[in-house]
Amino acid sequence: MGGTSQDLAVSETDGTVSIELNFKAFADNVPTTQHAKRTSRLDDPSIQDFADQALELATLRAELKRLSRDYEILQQQAAAREARLDDLRRELTAARMQLREERHAQSQTFAATIVEEASRMRPLLIPVDRPDSPVALSRDIVTIGRTSKSDICIRSSAVSRDHARLLVAAGSVTLVNMSSTNGCFVNDERVTKQRLQDGDVVRIGDRSFRFACNHPGS
């Protein structure tokens, strides 16, 4: 026995499968001698077998449709995540560049601060008569004398041509007399070699200087 499209109606709505059998149309296609008894054959399944197969097919179709919708949703979510990842990568790259620039700027600022601080903390000889004109001791050996070749030139007949040396080291400055005629004085005491302390008054000839090793204006 074979069923026709008039015998069976299958519909799918929102994943729900509905099957309607038209028994009258089915009966019209079956000879009256076969109404009371049916013989099952492989090529003529019973009504129940046919309905089961139709239901299974409709169910599979509904499941396939649901899986297709799920797959489309997953594709959309994956595309959205990939777009978000691209945005995050761009933000991360920009943040790294900004961090490098800020670190570079900070290192430059720090280096400039160190140089400025080192310059500010350099030991000085501050003329007592002209405190606004300090002399920075920026060399390891600073010469003091009457000639222009000296690092600190004092134009005075009381000052020898090669009068004294200042030996500048880390954390210390030492005044050394170079066998000058009138000698060197620290705090009014004649010295041959003397390590200077902050605030000491150094007299060379007729000029006096205050030694400062902490603050230029102190």
Instruction: Inform me whether the pLDDT recorded for 106 exceeds 70.
Output: yes
Specify the pLDDT at position 171: 81
Q: What confidence tens digit (pLDDT) does each residue in 69-87 have?
A: 999 999 999 999 999 999 9
Q: How confident is the model at residue 46 (pLDDT cuts 50, 70, 90)?
A: low
Q: Which residue has the tokens 């280096």?
A: 111
Pseudo-torsion of CA 201, 203, 209, 214, nearest 10°?
Answer: -40
Average confidence (pLDDT) over 45-50: 67
Q: What confidence tens digit (pLDDT) does each residue in 190-218 have?
A: 999 999 999 999 999 999 999 998 654 44
Specify the pLDDT at position 132: 87
Specify the pLDDT at position 55: 84
Q: What confidence tens digit (pLDDT) does each residue in 149-158 have?
A: 999 999 999 9
Q: Which residue has the tokens 């509904």?
A: 62
Average confidence (pLDDT) over 107-126: 75
Pseudo-torsion of CA 187, 188, 189, 194, nearest 10°?
Answer: 40
Instruction: Inform me whether the pLDDT recorded for 95 exceeds 50.
Output: yes
103 or 20, greater pLDDT: 103
Average confidence (pLDDT) over 20-44: 49
Instruction: Inform me whether the pLDDT recorded for 12 exceeds 80.
Output: no
Specify the pLDDT at position 50: 76
Q: How far is CA 138 from the centre of its chain?
A: 39
Between strands 141-145 and 152-153, the pairing is parallel
Q: Determine if the pTM surpasses 0.85.
A: no
Average confidence (pLDDT) over 12-33: 51
The Cβ of residue 217 has, within 10 Å, a number of other Cβ atoms equal to: 10
Specify the pLDDT at position 23: 47
Specify the pLDDT at position 1: 42
- Token reading at 115: 């140089």
Average confidence (pLDDT) over 186-190: 96
Nearest to 62 by CA among 20, 18, 5, 22: 18
